Amino acid sequence: MRGVGQGTWGEGLRYFLYPLSLAPFPLPLIVCFGLLVGLVGCGGRSEPTVKIGFVAPLTGDQAPQGEDMFHGALLAVEQAQADGEILPGYRLELVVLDDQRNPTQAVSAAKKLVADPDIVAMVGHLNSSCTMPASAIYHQARLLQVSPVSSNPQISRQGFDTFYRTCATDDLQGPAAARFIVQDLKAQKVFVLDDMTTYGRGLANELIRALNALGAEVLGHEGITQADKEFTPILTKIKSLNPDLVYFAGMFPEGALLIKQRQDVGLGGYFMGGDGLFDVALIDLSGSQAAEGVYLSTIGSDIYRVSTARAFVQAYEARFGPVGAYSAYAYEATNIAIWAIRKAGKPDRAAVLAAMKTLKDYPGLFGPQNFDEKGDSLIRDIGIFTVRSGRFSFVKIATQD
């Protein structure tokens, strides 16, 4: 998770650029990787470049998670540079764009990336609602897309052979969470909320199907709107139904308000959410007392418990501080894109995509990484965490079947 007090994207950007005596500038933007790490400035040299695009929400309420993803991607590129040229005679650049968690902005960013012929792969987006429309643009341009965390299963069912992702999907997360709710927490009456996004509604529907199959009673299912602040009326309604558990499929800004206002209205029972809540900002915004005992499901294991990820954790924390919820997935996705470029042997989109299709047993952070015919990762772990004493505490790996 992000460390308490860790800076925003803009502050992090200034941290990298100030040593080069450059003033900060607004987002959305394109960042030249060589400039960021002080190797070469954008346009400062004439040698050819090979570029990887990166898109996430870098401003707005979801910027903390976008920043964590950016740090993971940046670390992967820095390490690749340290290992030598990614292709003989080429320098590597990371082209960074902000989609503001907005599907329209995501499409705009995708169009900018595909218009640059030097970009031969991209990493992103965070939100499934952004990845869904953007993926069609990457597919049309035959640009390899490796998404770290967009987990809606419908994305890979579009049949786009340019799409891959390094996380588990919500048709795994929903059933695994349902089994934990019913078998571990012994909750039988559940009310489900979601944020009406592609991610939130999709996860909620997967959860409900699994709860019904397990014999639990779903008392209701309603949606809220991202950026809303007042949830007292819906929470008061839910309180009158006396649920054993409320599950929220959405992101941490709204999740934190639900948790805080739940306490204010005296709504008892368990509160659980999906991986969109997995940011320390959830605890900061809701307050550690209100967040105590909250559960969440995640699209992977605990990075701190995986032996194959120790070198990454050490390098990341030395560079950026505590690992964010999605940092490892962005690092993995970027490294896989770099592997495909190296394997292709030339800065050509078709060659990079063809190389990607040969990947087998990539030595990833969570073990050997492979993908099915839809581009979904075959690593299917779903983690369960709880908030304990103001921190996220790992509970178990929950199976989906």
Distance CA 122, CA 341 (A): 11
Distance CA 375, CA 163 (A): 6
Distances (CA, A) of 108 to 60, 123, 207, 269: 17, 15, 32, 43
The predicted pLDDT at position 112 comes to 98
* DSSP 3-state of 372: coil
Q: Report domain 170-298+382-398's class.
A: alpha beta
Task: Supply the DSSP symbol for 13.
Answer: H
pLDDT of the chain along its 401 residues, tens only?
A: 443 233 333 333 322 322 222 223 333 333 443 334 333 334 445 679 999 999 999 999 999 999 999 999 999 999 999 998 999 999 999 999 999 999 999 999 999 999 999 999 999 999 999 999 999 999 999 999 999 999 999 999 999 999 999 999 999 999 999 999 999 999 999 999 999 999 999 999 999 999 999 999 999 999 999 989 999 999 999 999 999 999 999 999 999 999 999 999 999 999 999 999 999 999 999 999 999 999 999 998 899 999 999 999 999 999 999 999 999 999 999 999 999 999 999 999 999 999 999 999 999 999 999 999 999 999 999 999 999 999 999 999 986 55
Where, residue-wise, is CATH 3.40.50.2300 in the chain? 9-168+305-369, 170-298+382-398
The predicted pLDDT at position 47 comes to 77
The predicted pLDDT at position 306 comes to 92
Distance CA 17, CA 154 (A): 39
Distance CA 338, CA 351 (A): 13
3-state helix vs strand vs coil in the chain, percent to 5:
45, 20, 35
What's the chain's Rg over C-alpha atoms? 21
Q: Report domain 9-168+305-369's class.
A: alpha beta
How would you classify the pairing of strands 382-388 and 391-398?
antiparallel
Distance CA 11, CA 24 (A): 9
CA 184 to chain centre: 27
Crossing angle (nearest 10°) for helices 327-344 and 310-320: 110
The pTM score is 0.87
How would you classify the pairing of strands 119-124 and 163-165?
unpaired
CA 372 to chain centre: 20
The predicted pLDDT at position 400 comes to 55
Pair 167, 377: CB distance under 8 Å: yes
Pair 35, 41: CB distance under 8 Å: yes
The predicted pLDDT at position 170 comes to 94
Q: Please tell me whether the peptide bond between 28 and the residue prior to it is cis, using omega within 30 degrees of 0.
A: yes
